[in-house]
Amino acid sequence: MPGIIDYAKGELKYAVTLREWVHLPLASRFSSQYNVPTILENDINTITLIESLLGAGQGYSNIACILIESGIGSGIILNGHLVRGETGNAGEIGYFDV
Q: What is the SS3 assignment for 18?
A: coil
Residue 3 is predicted with a pLDDT of: 87
pLDDT in tens, 51-86: 999 999 999 999 999 999 878 899 999 999 999 998
- The CA distance from 93 to 56, in Å, is 23
Distance of CA 27 to the CA centre of its chain: 13
- Please list the alpha-helical segments (H only) found in the chain: 26-34, 43-54
Other Cβ atoms closer than 10 A to 44:
23
Is 98 exposed, middle or buried (CB count within 10 Å of its CB: 0-12, 13-18, 19+)? exposed
DSSP 73: E
Residue 22 is predicted with a pLDDT of: 95
Domain regions of the chain by residue span = 4-95
pLDDT in tens, 79-96: 999 999 988 889 988 755
Residues 64 and 74: beta-carbon distance below 8 Å: yes
With 90 as the cut, is the pLDDT of residue 38 above it? yes
